[in-house]
Amino acid sequence: MSNSRPHVVAVPHRHVEPRRITFEFEGTPRHWFGGNRVASVAVDALNLLFPAGERFFVRAVRHHAALVDDPELRAQIRGFMGQEVRHGLEHERFFTTLERQGFEIQRFLRFFERVGFAFVEPRTSPALRLSVTVALEHFTAHLAELALREGLVEAMHPSVRALITWHAIEEIEHKSVAFDVLRAVDDRFALRVAGMAVACALLGGFFSVAFVDLLLQDLAMGRTAETSGRLPFDLRRVGLVRAVRRYLTPGFHPDQRDHEALLAQHREALRPAA
């Protein structure tokens, strides 16, 4: 519980610092992900969730920050918040590109704000909000690994590839921060399970609404010169159920997966843009 005494947890040293990069989306085609409509629209739908979702993560973690004594974790929290704020801003800039491509997105964004943050958020406890954040951070780290390890970014238009590569790297860099805050303030396994259940319901619900909304609009706009029917990745590799099962294993910690080599390989790609 948020008002209980914090536990002492061993926090591994990790450098978490936001990079100030501004991306250029001019000329991004509608089917920017391997020319595939479904893949492009699916990531566009996620894109609609990121800015408000990441601001929610920041609120949820900040609420508990004062309970954390460990200077290492406190520094990581600052880095985490800085990274998430920057992600939200850059993904929000992509909204203009979506609108230029012909999508009406304000209707969904209003619905998302009203249901997710005006209605659901105030009706949940701070501990549950933190646990939901930790579960969603597990998904972002999982998707980030997928994007980088499975070469998904290679099939993306360069403008979006740069945005996704940067976001994926930073999600992996701060993958354990919210988790360690939750461990420090309330380490009940039941709370972690409840957070995952609520996260699945909210993410599944909002993603589906955004995806169907954008897909119907995209179909109405028709094919483009680059449209191809082939999905640019193997759907079976997405592995969301596997990710949930790993998360629900007692003793799970995000650091159990070693991402250092993957990060080193892709940080290189960011360098020219930095």
**Which lies closer to Fe ion via its Cβ, residue 34 or residue 88?**
88
What is the smallest separation between the CB atom of 146 and Fe ion, expressed in angstroms? Answer: 15
**Which lies closer to Fe ion via its Cβ, residue 31 or residue 175?**
175
**Which lies closer to Fe ion via its Cβ, residue 137 or residue 186?**
137
What is the smallest separation between the CB atom of 118 and Fe ion, expressed in angstroms? Answer: 22
> CA-to-CA distance for 1 and 15, rounded, in angstroms?
28
What is the smallest separation between the CB atom of 93 and Fe ion, expressed in angstroms? Answer: 14
In terms of phi and psi (left: phi > 0; alpha: psi -120 to 50; beta: otherwise), the region of 16 is beta
**Which lies closer to Fe ion via its Cβ, residue 98 or residue 164?**
164
- Sorted by sequence, the CB contacts under 8 Å of residue 212 that are 6+ apart come out as none
**Which lies closer to Fe ion via its Cβ, residue 66 or residue 89?**
89
Binding interface with Fe ion (CB under 5 A): 54, 84, 87, 137, 140, 171
**Which lies closer to Fe ion via its Cβ, residue 39 or residue 163?**
163
What is the smallest separation between the CB atom of 183 and Fe ion, expressed in angstroms? Answer: 17
What is the smallest separation between the CB atom of 174 and Fe ion, expressed in angstroms? Answer: 6
What is the smallest separation between the CB atom of 172 and Fe ion, expressed in angstroms? Answer: 9
> Phi and psi at residue 228, in whole multiples of 5°?
-130, 155
Which residue in the shown chain puts its C-beta closest to Fe ion?
A: 87
**Which lies closer to Fe ion via its Cβ, residue 32 or residue 50?**
50
CA torsion through residues 88, 94, 99, 104, sign:
negative
Question: Using H for helix, E for strand and C for coil, what is the string for the chain?
Answer: CCCCCCCCCCCCCCCCCCCCCCCCCCCCCCCCECCEHHHHHHHHHHHHHHHHHHHHHHHHHHHHHCCCCCHHHHHHHHHHHHHHHHHHHHHHHHHHHHHHCCCCCHHHHHHHHHHHHHHHHHHCCHHHHHHHHHHHHHHHHHHHHHHHHCCHHHHECHHHHHHHHHHHHHHHHCCCHHHHHHHHHCCCHHHHHHHHHHHHHHHHHHHHHHHHHHHHHHHHHCCCCCCECCCCCCHHHCCHHHHHHHHCCCCCCHHHCCCHHHHHHHHHHHHHHC
What is the smallest separation between the CB atom of 31 and Fe ion, expressed in angstroms? Answer: 24
What is the smallest separation between the CB atom of 19 and Fe ion, expressed in angstroms? Answer: 12
**Which lies closer to Fe ion via its Cβ, residue 36 or residue 184?**
184
